[in-house]
C-alpha cells in the first residue's frame, strides 16, 4: 500500500512541477539579464575581490602559523615511550591545502571569512633520544583549524 501512495505522489509531482518550472523560466527570460562583468564580479552577493583578498589572507595566516608553531620539525620534543623507548614529536601545518569561504554579514560592506587548514602531529619513535630525533616520522593525528576573520572598511581584520 505504501508503494502505491509513493507512486501516486511521485507521478503527481512530475506533472505539477514542470508547469511551475516553465513559468519560472518565462519570468527569468523576461527579466533584464545581468551584464557579464556583474556576474563575474559578484557571486552570491559577495564581490570577487573580497574572495580573492580572503584567499591571500588565508595563505598569510597559514604560513605564519607554520613558521611560528612549536614544536616544529627543527625543534622536536622528545618524551619517553611506554615501551622503554623514546618518541620525538612535532606539529606541522599543511599550507598547500587552505580553504577559504566568505559569508555575508547583516551590516552593509561587512563579511565574515572562514580560513581552514590542517595541523598534523608527527611522531618519530626510537630506542634512544638521539635515535628518535633522527627516526622517520609518521602522522599520529590531525586536526582541522578554522580561523574566523572579519571584513570591515575595505580590509580583512585578523
Q: Of the candidates 134, 102, 136, 131, which has an alpha carbon nearest to the alpha carbon of residue 116?
A: 102
The model's pLDDT over 76-116, given as tens digits with 9 standing for 90+, comes to 999 999 889 999 999 999 999 999 999 988 887 789 999 99
Name the one residue in this structure whose C-alpha cell is 573580497.
50
Which pLDDT score is estimated for 109? 79
State the alpha helices, DSSP H only, in 31-128: 36-41, 48-68
In this prediction, residue 10 has a pLDDT band, given cuts at 50, 70 and 90, of: very low
Which pLDDT score is estimated for 43? 64
Cis peptide before 52 (omega within 30 of 0): no
Which pLDDT score is estimated for 41? 58
Domain-wise residue ranges, the chain: 47-157
Per the confidence metrics, is the pTM higher than 0.95?
no
Amino acid at each position: 500500500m505504501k508503494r502505491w501512495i509513493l507512486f501516486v505522489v511521485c507521478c503527481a509531482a512530475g506533472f505539477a512541477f514542470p508547469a511551475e518550472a516553465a513559468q519560472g523560466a518565462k519570468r527569468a527570460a523576461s527579466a533584464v539579464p545581468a551584464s557579464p562583468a556583474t556576474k563575474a564580479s559578484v557571486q552570491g552577493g559577495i564581490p570577487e575581490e573580497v574572495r580573492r583578498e580572503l584567499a591571500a589572507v588565508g595563505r598569510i595566516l597559514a604560513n605564519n602559523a607554520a613558521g611560528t608553531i612549536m614544536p616544529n620539525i627543527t625543534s622536536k620534543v622528545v618524551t619517553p615511550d611506554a615501551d622503554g623507548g623514546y618518541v620525538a614529536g612535532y606539529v606541522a601545518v599543511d599550507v598547500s591545502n587552505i580553504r577559504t569561504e566568505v559569508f555575508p554579514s547583516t551590516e552593509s560592506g561587512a563579511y565574515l571569512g572562514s580560513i581552514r587548514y590542517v595541523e598534523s602531529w608527527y611522531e618519530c619513535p626510537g630506542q634512544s633520544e638521539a635515535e628518535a630525533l633522527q627516526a622517520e616520522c609518521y602522522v599520529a593525528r590531525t586536526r582541522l583549524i578554522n580561523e574566523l576573520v572579519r571584513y570591515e572598511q575595505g580590509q580583512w581584520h585578523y
